Amino acid sequence: MKIYIIKRILWMIPIFIGISFFSFILINVSPSDPAEVAIRVTGITPTEENVAEMRQELGLDKPFMTRYIEWVTNALHGNFGKSYITQKPVVSEFADAIPATLYLAGVALIITLTVSVAAGVFCALQEGSAGDILIRGLVFVGTAIPSFWVGILLMWLLAVEIPIFPTSGMRTPDSVALPAVTLALGYIATYVRLIRNTMIQNQHANFVLYGKVRGLKNSTITKHIFKNSLNTSLTALGMSIPKLIAGTVVIENIFAWPGVGRLCVTAIFDRDFPTIQAYVLIMAILFVVCNLLVDIGVAVIDPRMRKEED
């Protein structure tokens, strides 16, 4: 197990280097001059002189690799520069916004796991029944409808026509209900199908037949089927957690939720390059780390994964 973990960590080093390089070149492929953007946001008209001074102040006059190494070194120390708009450190901007995003993503994850596990197990055990067909139909509809459209419909129905929840913001505890449900619906559809299909496949496996021959209870056999169906679900879950956090971009802007997704969209419109670079780097690292943790978790549950890796 130790060798497996060391190998997976070593493989992450070139991945992190590639992620950091991609995040850094965003500022270089943009058609806008970062120095000119930094001047315009202060309300000053750019001239050749003040643009040159700003380029020197931002270090843009240095060679590409020198700037890249300095940026990576500063990023490792938690320094992503200052926002062009607020003139505050980017780290403090993220520190203020990340709790709201984690709260929203956490509630959405709880809703996703609760509903999808219950519905997926029910559909697998009641394969072909009216309830199975109904749930699969709802899952199909949930997959087809875009999340932003669901959010608008929920806002219209449960905040305007029937004023149960607030329309936007993070003012009261129930403010998270509509954005969390909107964010969770797309993942619920995916997990219900995944759990149902995996459990149905495992119902015809040899260990199920052996358990029935031994006279085990149906509940015990169902537990074994569910446990052996977790590998695929855990892998998908590991990728869904960072997707939940990164996927809040649209939802946070619809419901005016003060998280990192809304911060990123604002930075894109304002061409706030330091904030955009930090967002891309942090989200990419989050994907890689979550994938590593899930691989380790799957290897702990199923030793066959470690043997395949060796």
Phi, psi (rounded to 5 degrees) for 42:
-85, -5
Confidence check: pLDDT of 310 > 70: no
Looking at 100-104, 159-163, 257-261, 301-305, which range is the least confident one?
301-305
Phi, psi (rounded to 5 degrees) for 89:
-60, 140
Helices (H), the chain: 2-29, 34-40, 48-58, 64-76, 90-125, 130-144, 147-155, 177-202, 206-214, 218-228, 230-246, 248-254, 260-270, 273-301, 304-309
**What is the full DSSP assignment across 86-119?**
T-SBHHHHHHHHHHHHHHHHHHHHHHHHHHHHHH
37 Cα distance to chain centroid: 29
pTM above 0.75, yes or no: yes
Handedness of CA 33, 39, 44, 50 (dihedral sign): negative
C-alpha–C-alpha distance, residues 1 and 7, integer Å = 10
191-210 pLDDT per residue, tens: 888 888 888 888 877 777 87
C-alpha–C-alpha distance, residues 185 and 179, integer Å = 10
pLDDT band at 273 (very low <50, low <70, confident <90, very high): confident
> Angle, to 10 degrees, between the axis of helix 230-246 and the axis of helix 177-202?
160
pLDDT band at 305 (very low <50, low <70, confident <90, very high): low
pLDDT band at 29 (very low <50, low <70, confident <90, very high): confident
Average pLDDT over residues 161-168: 84
Question: What structural domains does the chain harbor?
Answer: 2-76 (no CATH), 90-309 (1.10.3720.10)
pLDDT band at 225 (very low <50, low <70, confident <90, very high): confident
Are 246 and 98 a contacting pair, CB within 8 Å? Answer: no
Among 84, 66, 98, 105, which residue's Cα sits nearest to residue 266?
84
282-298 pLDDT per residue, tens: 888 888 888 788 777 77
Handedness of CA 54, 57, 58, 62 (dihedral sign): positive
Confidence (pLDDT) at 107: 92
**CA quadruple 240, 243, 248, 250: dihedral, nearest 10:** -120
C-alpha–C-alpha distance, residues 310 and 307, integer Å = 5
C-alpha–C-alpha distance, residues 206 and 195, integer Å = 19
pLDDT band at 103 (very low <50, low <70, confident <90, very high): very high
Longest dimension (CA), the chain: 86
Report the Cα–Cα distance between both ends of the chain, in Å, rounded: 10
DSSP 46: P
C-alpha–C-alpha distance, residues 295 and 286, integer Å = 14
Average pLDDT over residues 61-89: 86
